[in-house]
Amino acid sequence: MLKVGKKAPDFSMSTTKNLESLDHVVSLSDYQGKWLVLFFYPLDFTFVCPTEIRGFNSRIAEFTQLGAEVLGVSTDSVYSHRAWVKTSRDEGGLGGLDYPLASDITKQVARDYGVLIEEEGIALRGLYIIDPDGILRYQVVTDLSVGRSIEETLRVLQALQTGGLCPIDWQPGERTI
């Protein structure tokens, strides 16, 4: 069972890291020694999803500066991901992306992380922060219609990285308890 403070479930998924060949497979162990922001979204070529994916993309340098990598996941195929990344924004696509999208085509990873809507075969909006030792440190799951806050994700990541006790509304640069 998925629990904050315990080992995050392992995974193995094809990604868009090499957009042309689509031959890159990623697993949790690839992020050993790094922070990972893993987020699930319902479907490619939809309405709320591109706002989140582009939002992470617009702030990817901040995640990188904090020693974190970002990985987006849906149950769509890696071929659908590639088409969406390569399609221009004007035509409903992402128009490029600076981090990979992974394909959970078997739906097992969404199931392991507790976000799979079995009867629909898609994932809820789950976001997980996994520490450099593979321990799950944060999780939030929202309904399909509600996008997540990139600002809050960055704030929580930085709070976790302090190693201290961060009171309500703690902001980067403030003292911990």
Q: What are the pLDDT tens digits along the chain (177 aa)?
A: 899 999 999 999 999 999 999 999 999 999 999 999 999 999 999 999 999 999 999 999 999 999 999 999 999 999 999 999 999 999 999 999 999 999 999 999 999 999 999 999 999 999 999 999 999 999 999 999 999 999 999 999 999 999 999 999 999 999 999
What pLDDT was estimated at residue 125?
98
Q: What is the DSSP letter of 135?
A: B
What is the rounded distance in angstroms from the CA atom of residue 122 to the CA atom of residue 162? 35
In angstroms, the CA 22 to CA 33 distance is 25
Whole-angstrom CA distances from 84 to 63, 124, 133 are 23, 19, 32
In terms of Cα–Cα distance, which of 122, 137, 20 is closest to 68?
137
pTM above 0.85, yes or no: yes
Annotated active-site residue 166? The verdict is no
Question: What pLDDT score was predicted for residue 79?
Answer: 98
Q: Which of 74, 15, 5, 12 is nearest to 46 (CA)?
A: 74
The arrangement of secondary structure in 12-162, i.e. its CATH architecture, is: 3-Layer(aba) Sandwich (3.40)
* Predicted local confidence at residue 64, as pLDDT: 98
d(CA 95, CA 118): 30
| Confidence at residue 126, expressed as pLDDT on a 0 to 100 scale | 98
Q: Is 169 left (phi over 0), alpha (psi -120 to 50) or beta?
A: left
Which among 26, 49, 70, 154 is annotated as catalytic?
A: 49
